[in-house]
Structure 1
């Protein structure tokens, strides 16, 4: 009986422990700590960007005399605003090209059968499996041969290579979820294959198209390695590359670097806040199939 009583008591304590872990207070505490650790670096960057040079070196927790001088140095004195414009142009152009090519490609792979179609699709995905660092040397040589060093076109080409296979994969899986009977019904009504795609099938997968667009823009916005390889001045530098301009031989302008980081985060943060539903759709819907 004593052993049985001990076992029952032990079971009750264990059950109470699990009930405590499953309580909403514990869940809220864990979520709060997770959010705190995620946003604390961003908050620290924001605080640093509002400090004077002396305040940054003094390592104070809060700016004693809040100022926007670091933003002025970053955007205008160092010309960082040109990198912001370059990033907008390069990310937008890359996104348009990737979606224009990737959407019909995904539709073709989901609907039509042709010789070695699966092998071609696997090859498209396989091209993205190479470690990007291993492609830097041939990429630099190609850009040099065609005179594309220090140009926006060179960076756009890299972004298209990086993200086109991903969009083809995502869009193919979205198109697979659409019954082919929808295409056939449109053909019966007199539509051509292109008209059936444009007027019937494509409107159904608009959430997936929006997700692919947003993900491509975000990835292109933060791409660093290939942009760093070909960009040598502010005529083509993107935000991640231009941030290195604040590292000098005599020291680092921490305030200006923090201000540049905050400026670079604003567009992507707004995209995530307003379009997070489509991002979730892209990450979940794109994994089906």
Structure 2
């Protein structure tokens, strides 16, 4: 009797598995997933084509589409300055992180020194600490060094946030490269620096590209530390400037949506054109 019950259970599970593998079910799940992701973006775009007053009419589609909210956000509120600031800060942060992270990843993958694993774990541990817990000391340090309302202060925060990630990714990329490649370059007369520059770096270019793109995207959307030290448009980034559309008694939904659309365009283009490197970076960073 128990054997028959087990057989019936197996058949039910098999029928359920066949149903879940049906193309209709797969397409339905994919459609719901895409809808869940795209719906907020569509709402954001439609809201940006309304006026701030028309938002409260609760119409999903704008009756009289207008670009007024874009004009208010970019020019009347000076949002274009935040866009320029974000480009400068994200680019500078990315350059510094990669200049430090790539050699550090190579050193951790090739050289042994006292407490090397402990140092590497400590670097990763710095990113496990909740960033909110560092806001007060970060603000005090920026105040002491006169870096409030400066782009350099935000760049320093971004380097702290994303350097451990790049070190981790690059270390695991370098680990996949055989040591024989280094030794062959040394036998051919290269110094260690020349071997690193001319032989090893070209092999890990996908990892470098992935680290560069991820660092830029993460720096582009960083809010907490930028909000802590930025109070004027000379250093304010896109996330902070977008938050300012939330007032004490009202929210300028249309203008905020327009600002969000403008902020999304560069990052969306980066993801669209370099998605292969992003996937390589995330999967490569999980190896080793």
What range is the shorter-chain TM-score in?
over 0.9
The Cα of 1:7 is off from its aligned counterpart by 7.1
Distance in structure 1 (CA, Å) of the matches to 2:78 and 2:203: 44
Structure 2 unaligned blocks of 5 or more: none
Distance in structure 1 (CA, Å) of the matches to 2:147 and 2:202: 37
Distance in structure 1 (CA, Å) of the matches to 2:266 and 2:89: 14
Distance in structure 2 (CA, Å) of the matches to 1:209 and 1:220: 16
Distance in structure 2 (CA, Å) of the matches to 1:136 and 1:8: 60
Partner of 1:249: 248
- Equivalent positions of 1:126-165 (< 5 A) are 126-165=125-164
- Equivalent positions of 1:78-227 (< 5 A) are 78-227=77-226
Distance in structure 2 (CA, Å) of the matches to 1:135 and 1:249: 27
The Cα of 1:6 is off from its aligned counterpart by 8.1
Please tell me whether the aligned partners of residues 50 and 66 of structure 2 are also in contact (alpha carbons under 8 angstroms): yes
What's the CA shift string for 1:140-197, capped at 9, x where partnerless? 0000000000000000000001111111111001000000000000000000000000
Q: For 1:53, what is the secondary structure of its paired residue?
A: coil
Distance 1:7 1:110, change over 3 A: closer
1:18 matches 2:17: yes
Q: For 1:83, what is the secondary structure of its paired residue?
A: helix
The Cα of 1:116 is off from its aligned counterpart by 2.0
Q: For 1:88, what is the secondary structure of its paired residue?
A: helix
Distance in structure 2 (CA, Å) of the matches to 1:111 and 1:255: 53
Partner of 2:282: 283
Cα RMSD for the two superposed structures: 1.7
Please tell me whether the aligned partners of residues 20 and 26 of structure 2 are also in contact (alpha carbons under 8 angstroms): yes
1:67 matches 2:66: yes
The Cα of 1:54 is off from its aligned counterpart by 3.3
Please tell me whether the aligned partners of residues 107 and 171 of structure 1 are also in contact (alpha carbons under 8 angstroms): yes
Distance in structure 1 (CA, Å) of the matches to 2:146 and 2:261: 33
Partner of 2:263: 264
Q: For 1:246, what is the secondary structure of its paired residue?
A: coil
Structure 1 unaligned blocks of 5 or more: none
Distance in structure 2 (CA, Å) of the matches to 1:220 and 1:54: 33
Q: Which moved more, 1:203-212 or 1:239-248?
A: 239-248
Q: Which moved more, 1:3-12 or 1:278-287?
A: 3-12
What's the CA shift string for 1:31-55, capped at 9, x where partnerless? 1101101111111011100112332
The Cα of 1:249 is off from its aligned counterpart by 3.4
Distance 1:5 1:174, change over 3 A: closer
Aligned length: 288
The Cα of 1:11 is off from its aligned counterpart by 4.8
Please tell me whether the aligned partners of residues 82 and 238 of structure 2 are also in contact (alpha carbons under 8 angstroms): yes
- Equivalent positions of 1:45-64 (< 5 A) are 45-64=44-63
Please tell me whether the aligned partners of residues 94 and 159 of structure 1 are also in contact (alpha carbons under 8 angstroms): yes
Distance 1:6 1:115, change over 3 A: closer
